[in-house]
């Protein structure tokens, strides 16, 4: 599409329709339609979503579906699955779906079917995982491994960390898994304090093998290993790399045999399905990892074939567009009511914000509409005692997904019933709110005087009409977690496709990296400067402050 999406007929119709819907309360939508839940409850690949608590009428849905069609969504979905170069600024396809394609379908990149490489890498992961878990592959002193340290950042960290934590009940108890991401020395120091070099396996996770944080942390890990009993000759037993840049990993000293490949047609934030998922496979076993892939594959097939009005990722995406572009929402909350899923908001922050935090179209023209929202969130019920106040009575519209399993892995007293009740009561309260009359009546019923009820009631009013989706599944199994993550990947894709932006590049993160190198150079040179230099006065002043720190303390 070359023109602005604002010129689409459906977009304009949605803008007009929004001015009506801004005065519609969900209470009324529910009152008018006793079947609203049944109408808007959808299910696929083990994921169930209640879409009914949204400020959306039948007309809203009809227009949103028209928008998807007018924006050419079906064609764009096919383009992704068939390996078209949809990442235009890097001239690459985005083929995370190939990593979980369990059909016989070939997928071509530059005329070559990538499926044999994908399957061969899964087999290599399977052999490696089996050797470590069966204790056949041991450390330099012949002891079995007890700890894995995954060193990586961004997509080489958040996805594996989320999935391995989400599946903690499936872990092999004999193997502990730790993640080191940050360049802050405190991170690796704290992790290394608790492990033994004889029984620790390091996974160097970097698609580019050029990420400063990961390489610096790997050097620290290698030196620690060498200083604590390891040797140059035994590094190969303890260090494994997962990268698309095999030569850089070899140059760094990793044995060729110990390198698991990935490919430039897999985006970092979509890479947990590749060998970057090794920490997941090592903790839950390769059968579990394959089940994770099969859950994602099932969601892929649903996404590819279901009509828009039954298609979970499409519906989730369309609602997001409705609120961002027509109802004035700036943010979107991810609220998992599951301790094991507490890492989901962080993973979705990268997935969504790095994908759709863009302000030019695929043709390089400035967009004249909002794109990706600010993603935030945290585990329920904890959030209810913190930021939910703003959701209920604040002035901003913040749509939210409440995510909850029907069964817990840990039935403790009536905890799960209480957790589940809290989740439902939040979405109910956000939808229906409390009117001034209700607040006043409630106070009077408690025996408060008329004057006092009059004074207090406005503070107790909850406007309601705050949209939520309730996302449920039976239990957090590898299959459902795979489907859940893929659901959000496709949601983000659909939004990017409709906004006509490239969801698969991330040039915005580069400037900070470039400037960081010059600042680092100045810090290491220990030369305070004044007057006109290559930095603005603020940055220069702060550099000087850092360089002068020895003088102060
Ligand atoms: O800086 C952003 C980023 O490039 C992410 O897109 C990526 O997931 C992360 O850094 C890590 O990159 P790599 O896997 O190449 O080390």
**409-451 residue pLDDT tens:** 999 999 999 999 999 999 999 999 999 999 999 999 999 999 9
Which residues are identified as catalytic? 354, 385, 513
For residues 71 and 54, give the distance between their C-alpha atoms in angstroms, rounded to a whole number.
23
How wide is the angle at C-alpha 11 spanned by C-alphas 10 and 14, nearest 5°?
Answer: 85
pTM: 0.97
Residue nearest to atom 16 of ligand 1 (CA): 206
Tell me what the mean pLDDT of segment 242-265 comes to: 94
For residues 392 and 403, give the distance between their C-alpha atoms in angstroms, rounded to a whole number.
18
Atom of ligand 1 nearest to the CA of 243: 14
Percentage above 90 pLDDT, the chain: 96
72 and 49: one domain? yes
CB 476 within 8 A of CB 333: no
217 and 318: one domain? no
Residue 253, pLDDT score: 87
The verdict on residue 446 lying in a domain is: no
Pairing of strands 239-243, 200-205: parallel
Best mutation site among 87, 156, 203, 510 for ligand 1, i.e. most ligand atoms within 8 A of its Cβ?
Answer: 156
Residue 553, pLDDT score: 52
- 233: domain CATH number? 3.40.50.10490
Please tell me the distance between residue 156's alpha carbon and the centre of ligand 1 in angstroms. 7
349 and 251: one domain? no
- For 67-107, write each residue's pLDDT tens digit: 999 999 999 999 999 999 999 999 999 999 999 999 999 99
Residue 538, pLDDT score: 95
Per-residue confidence at 531, pLDDT binned at 50, 70, 90? low
Residue 73, pLDDT score: 98
- Helix pair angle (510-525, 537-547), 10° resolution: 40
Please tell me the distance between residue 100's alpha carbon and the centre of ligand 1 in angstroms. 21
Cα distance between the two ends of the chain: 60
Please tell me the distance between residue 357's alpha carbon and the centre of ligand 1 in angstroms. 15
The verdict on residue 22 lying in a domain is: no
Mean pLDDT of the chain: 96
249 and 319: one domain? no
- How far are the Cα atoms of 179, 322, 332, 372, 429 from residue 325, in angstroms, in the given order? 37, 6, 13, 10, 25
Ramachandran quadrant class, 206 (left: phi over 0; alpha: psi -120 to 50; beta: rest): beta
For residues 273 and 292, give the distance between their C-alpha atoms in angstroms, rounded to a whole number.
8
Residues 6+ apart with CB under 8 A from 34: none
363 and 472: one domain? yes
- How far are the Cα atoms of 207, 289, 356, 357 from residue 353, in angstroms, in the given order? 19, 26, 5, 5
Give the domain range for residue 532.
Answer: 507-551
332 and 254: one domain? no
Residues 6+ apart with CB under 8 A from 438: none
Any idea what DSSP says for residue 322?
I
58 and 122: one domain? no
Please tell me the distance between residue 92's alpha carbon and the centre of ligand 1 in angstroms. 16
490 and 528: one domain? no
For residues 327 and 338, give the distance between their C-alpha atoms in angstroms, rounded to a whole number.
29
The verdict on residue 99 lying in a domain is: no
492 and 531: one domain? no
Confidence check: pLDDT of 527 > 90: no
CB 312 within 8 A of CB 50: no
Residue nearest to atom 10 of ligand 1 (CA): 154
Residue nearest to atom 6 of ligand 1 (CA): 268
The verdict on residue 449 lying in a domain is: no
> Other CB atoms closer than 10 Å to residue 456's CB: what's the count?
14
Confidence check: pLDDT of 532 > 80: no
Per-residue confidence at 552, pLDDT binned at 50, 70, 90? low
Pairing of strands 468-473, 47-50: antiparallel
Please tell me the distance between residue 239's alpha carbon and the centre of ligand 1 in angstroms. 20
For residues 443 and 450, give the distance between their C-alpha atoms in angstroms, rounded to a whole number.
9
Tell me what the mean pLDDT of segment 130-147 comes to: 97
Residue 526, pLDDT score: 79
How wide is the angle at C-alpha 58 spanned by C-alphas 56 and 64, nearest 5°?
Answer: 70
270 and 380: one domain? no
237 and 185: one domain? yes
Tell me what the mean pLDDT of segment 536-547 comes to: 94
Percentage above 70 pLDDT, the chain: 98
Atom of ligand 1 nearest to the CA of 213: 16
CB 366 within 8 A of CB 359: yes
Residues 6+ apart with CB under 8 A from 12: 6
Residues 6+ apart with CB under 8 A from 360: 366, 367, 501
Domain count, the chain: 3
Residue 447, pLDDT score: 97
For residues 529 and 206, give the distance between their C-alpha atoms in angstroms, rounded to a whole number.
36
Atom of ligand 1 nearest to the CA of 513: 1
Q: 246: burial class by Cβ within 10 Å (0-12, 13-18, 19+)?
A: middle
Residues with CB under 6 A from ligand 1: 153-156, 206-208, 211, 214, 268-269, 354, 506, 509
Best mutation site among 158, 180, 205, 211 for ligand 1, i.e. most ligand atoms within 8 A of its Cβ?
Answer: 211
Residues 6+ apart with CB under 8 A from 196: 146, 147
The verdict on residue 255 lying in a domain is: yes
The verdict on residue 224 lying in a domain is: yes
Read off φ and ψ for residue 13, nearest 5 degrees.
-65, -35
The verdict on residue 7 lying in a domain is: no
For residues 271 and 162, give the distance between their C-alpha atoms in angstroms, rounded to a whole number.
12
240 and 277: one domain? yes
The verdict on residue 297 lying in a domain is: no
């Amino acid at each position: 599409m070359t023109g602005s999406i604002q010129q689409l007929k459906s977009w304009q119709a949605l803008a007009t329709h929004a001015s009506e819907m801004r005065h519609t309360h969900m209470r009324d939508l529910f009152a008018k339609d006793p079947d609203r839940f049944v109408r808007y409850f959808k299910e696929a690949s083990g994921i169930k979503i209640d879409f009914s608590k949204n400020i959306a009428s039948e007309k809203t849905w009809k227009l949103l579906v028209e928008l998807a069609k007018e924006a050419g969504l079906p064609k764009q979905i096919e383009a992704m699955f068939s390996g078209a170069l949809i990442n235009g600024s890097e001239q690459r396809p985005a083929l995370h779906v190939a990593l979980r394609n369990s059909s016989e379908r070939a997928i071509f990149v530059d005329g070559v079917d990538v499926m044999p490489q994908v399957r061969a890498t899964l087999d290599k992961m399977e052999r490696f995982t089996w050797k470590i878990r069966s204790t056949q592959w041991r450390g330099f002193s012949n002891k079995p491994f007890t700890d894995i340290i995954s060193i990586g950042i961004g997509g080489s960290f958040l996805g594996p960390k989320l999935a391995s934590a989400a599946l903690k009940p499936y872990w092999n108890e004999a193997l502990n898994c730790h993640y080191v991401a940050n360049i802050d020395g405190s991170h690796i120091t704290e992790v290394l304090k608790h492990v033994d070099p004889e029984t620790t396996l390091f996974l160097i996770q970097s698609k580019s093998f050029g990420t400063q944080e990961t390489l610096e942390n790997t050097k620290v890990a290698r030196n620690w290993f060498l200083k604590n009993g390891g040797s140059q000759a035994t590094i190969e037993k303890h260090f494994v790399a997962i990268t698309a840049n095999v030569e850089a990993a070899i140059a760094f000293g990793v044995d060729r045999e110990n390198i698991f490949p990935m490919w430039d047609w897999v985006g970092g934030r979509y890479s947990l399905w590749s060998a970057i998922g090794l920490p997941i496979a090592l903790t839950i076993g390769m059968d579990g990892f394959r089940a994770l892939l099969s859950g994602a594959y099932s969601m892929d097939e649903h996404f590819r074939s279901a009509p828009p009005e039954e298609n979970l990722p499409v519906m989730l995406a369309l609602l997001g567009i409705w609120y961002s572009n027509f109802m004035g929402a700036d943010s979107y909350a991810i609220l998992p009511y599951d301790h094991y899923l507490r890492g989901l908001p962080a993973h979705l922050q990268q997935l969504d914000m790095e994908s759709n935090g863009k302000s030019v179209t695929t043709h390089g023209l400035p967009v004249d509409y909002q794109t990706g929202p600010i993603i935030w969130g945290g585990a329920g019920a904890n959030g209810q005692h913190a930021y939910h106040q703003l959701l209920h009575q604040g002035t901003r519209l913040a749509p939210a997904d409440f995510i909850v399993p029907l069964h817990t892995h840990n039935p403790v007293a009536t905890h799960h019933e209480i957790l589940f009740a809290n989740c439902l009561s939040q979405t109910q309260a956000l939808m229906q709110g409390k009117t001034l009359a209700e607040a006043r009546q409630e106070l009077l019923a408690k025996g408060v005087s008329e004057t006092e009820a009059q004074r207090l009631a406005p503070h107790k009013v909850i406007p309601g009409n705050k949209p939520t989706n309730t996302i449920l599944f039976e239990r957090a199994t590898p299959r459902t977690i795979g489907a859940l993550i893929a659901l959000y990947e496709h949601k983000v894709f659909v939004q990017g496709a409709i906004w006509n932006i490239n969801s698969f590049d991330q040039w915005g993160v580069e400037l900070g990296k470039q400037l960081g190198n010059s600042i680092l150079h100045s810090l290491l040179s220990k030369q305070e400067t004044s007057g006109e230099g290559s930095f603005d006065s603020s940055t220069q002043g702060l550099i000087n402050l850092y360089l002068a720190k020895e003088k102060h303390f």
